[in-house]
Amino acid sequence: MSQPQILLVDDEKAILKLLQTVLAKEGYTEVDSVESAEEAIEACRSKSYDLIILDVMLPGKSGFEAAPFIREWTAAPILFLTARSTDLDKLTGFAIGGDDYIIKPFNPLEVIARLKVHLRRTTGSGSPGSLPAKRASIQEIYDFGYFIVDGTAKELTVNGSAVDCPAQVFQLLLFLCRHPNRVFSKDELYERVWGESAFRDDNTVMVHIHRIRERIERNPAKPEFLLTVRGLGYKLVRRGAEP
């Protein structure tokens, strides 16, 4: 049996230590902690979490600003942690993808109680050590007819055959699959997939777009799926999906 994977995000080390201690006493040992929104986004890119406790007031991006980026990579419950208690703040938190709102100062036992409720809702059990070896997860499969992207298994199938796809190329393709028919500029793609802290190279997006087309298009020189919108950017469409 495997443990629920939990991510704590707060720039106050004392709060992180308090939450880690309480979680450990309750039997939750698979707990990661970071101190900024940027680190949280990167953590969610590289690992699958079952629940995220996210502080709102963070240096750089706030928790509210980070939540939509985190939602690109995970459907795990997000519990906002903040001293801001107005109805508008709460509504904002829920509107941008939050699942719960915990006001500072908080009772650690209340945090545990809410955590268990959300884990029970999303995984079937709120108890540590209760998840099956293959943890429950949302199936993320995008079928374009000629090719299929399995975001859960991290696999690309083209015309019935598995196709090797480097990690960063796959992440860009997966991001586009999550937003079909939407135009993204090179800058938007760079920020959403590589992150603001990455070393920026104007050719990075173009090179990866080319690599995606080499894999998913019948004729990369005349793309059917991953189209260039002149002067605006790129979009992934379903037109021509049937062979």
Q: What is the CATH number of the domain that holds 201?
A: 1.10.10.10
pLDDT for 198 equals 44
pLDDT for 123 equals 67
- Domain co-membership, 10 together with 78: yes
Domain C-terminal end among 122, 150, 165: 122
In a domain, 177, yes or no: yes
> Same domain, yes or no, for 115 and 212?
no
Residues 118 and 151 in one domain: no
Q: In this predicted structure, what is the pLDDT of residue 104?
A: 84
Report how far residue 143's alpha carbon sits from residue 63's, in angstroms, rounded to the nearest whole number: 33
pLDDT at 13: 93
Residue 97's pLDDT is 75
Residues 12 and 114 grouped into a single domain: yes
pLDDT attached to residue 131 = 54
Specify the pLDDT at position 211: 93
Q: How many degrees, rounded to 5, is the angle at CA 70 between CA 144 and CA 100?
A: 120
My answer on whether 27 and 62 are in the same domain is yes
Answer whether residue 184 is part of any domain.
yes
Residues 174 and 226 in one domain: yes
Same-domain check for residues 87 and 162: no
Tell which of 58, 88, 122 closes a domain: 122
Which stretches of the chain drop beneath a pLDDT of 70? 1-2, 85, 123-139, 195-202, 239-243
pLDDT in tens, 200-238: 556 788 899 999 999 999 999 999 999 999 999 999 997
Evaluate whether residue 149 is within a structural domain: yes
34 and 116 housed in the same domain:
yes
Best CA proximity match to 212, nearest among 153, 180, 164: 164
Residue 220 is part of which domain span?
A: 141-236
Taken in order 158, 160, 166, 167, the sign of the CA dihedral is positive
Is residue 130 a part of any domain in this protein?
Answer: no
- Residue 88 CB-half CA count within 13 A: 0
Q: Which residues contact 123 (CB under 8 A, 6 or more apart)?
A: 4, 50, 130, 131, 135, 136
The answer to whether 140 and 150 are in contact (CB under 8 A) is yes
Residues 61, 148 within the same domain: no
Number of domains in the chain: 2
Give domain status of residue 81, yes or no: yes
Write out the H or E segment, with its range, that includes residue 93: helix 87-95
* Structural domain contains residue 136: no
Q: Is residue 131 part of a domain?
A: no
What percent of the chain is modeled with pLDDT above 70?
A: 86
Q: At what angle do helices 108-123 and 13-25 cross, to 10 degrees?
A: 60
Whole-angstrom distance, CA of residue 211 vs CA of residue 216: 9
Distance of CA 78 to the CA centre of its chain: 11
Residue 242 within a domain: no
Q: Do 149 and 220 belong to one domain?
A: yes
pLDDT confidence of residue 130:
55
